[in-house]
Structure 1
């Protein structure tokens, strides 16, 4: 399949082709785009995004929690070992997370630990366009929030990540 794809082409793909083309835009969760496929055709990019939003909105809390838990922690040991998906590794490197100073790395890990302890899932933010300092500031800002606020924010950030990944795939 030739990338980037035209949206019209994406709308016409059978389920197997659709899954192969865009199934990975939600981290380790191909079920999301498999359900989005059922909402075809997509008149435009906004319709595709609306289908993604509706799919997440209709998913059960346990499914959404599994989607959240499928995301890696930022600047984690898994990242240092090269165990992230290609998309996650590229996004984290683009935000400079692979070049943290020892102090920044310690602060991000401390905040990751505090966040996971409080909420039970990893801190998620669409890192594209952010600096390490922006990410640390966001972690500090979001840590005092309630679990319901952060559950909703994690979903919004996941949708933003998926949007950015789709932009790279679509013409």
Structure 2
């Protein structure tokens, strides 16, 4: 059995403090005789494969040394990943990392606004709503946001 996700989360956060990544979450899931430990990391500018590999190495080393090594009995699989586009934007840092993206904003008054994030301050999200001037929405008025996937064609029409 692996340690609780909270124990792992705190250990991993302290081990990765100087790497420049934020540990967003840790999930532990049973998969047959082994467990899957999924660590979700992010940072400003995104997480590239080299950073994921570095983080994975550091976490593996952490799991091989006490006290976390004492928490593992049996086998486990370590997965390190970024949050993905379907993660709700709930914290200021999530909004900051989504600048220039098109988002659907769910407000606490149950209304929904769709537009492109222009800027994020400590207190608000500035958005360009189609057909209007940029508008500021207080972070305290937002319940969550969802990044909208945009597809652009790379096919060039020829006659």
Whether TM-score is above 0.5 comes out as no
Give TM-score, length-normalised by structure 2: 0.25
- Highest Rg: 1 or 2? 2
Tell me which of the two structures has the higher relative contact order, counting C-alpha pairs closer than 8 angstroms and 6 or more residues apart.
Answer: 1
More strand by share: 2
TM-score (norm 1): 0.23
